[in-house]
Amino acid sequence: MRSQTLTRAELLALPVSVPLWPDAARAFGVGRTKAHELARAGEFPVPVLRLGNTYRVTRADLLRALGEADVAPRGAA
C-alpha cells in the first residue's frame, strides 16, 4: 500500500534533515521497502546520507527535487 504524499505545507515545515522513512519516502509517494531499496542501490531521487543504521535526507534536496523553494517556516529566525 502506498503512503499518502506530503502536502506543500508539510514539506515546508520539515526540519533541516529528515529520516528516509516516513518523511522522504512519503514526499515521493513511495513505501518504506521501496525507499530503502532505492537508497541501498543509490537510486533514491535525492542524495541519501547514511548515519550508522539510519538513512537521512536534507529538506533542501527534497524541496529542490520537488520544485519547491526552500523557505524557512513562519516564526523561524
- Is there a domain that residue 36 lies in? yes
Total number of domains constituting the chain? 1
Q: Is 21's pLDDT higher than 90?
A: yes
Q: What is the pLDDT of residue 60?
A: 92
Model pLDDT for residues 48-63, shown as the tens digit of each residue: 999 998 999 999 999 9
Burial grade of 20 (CB within 10 A; 0-12, 13-18, 19 or more): buried
Domain coverage including residue 22: 8-65
- Is there a domain that residue 2 lies in? no
Which residues touch 25 (CB under 8 Å, ≥6 apart)? 3, 31, 32, 34, 35
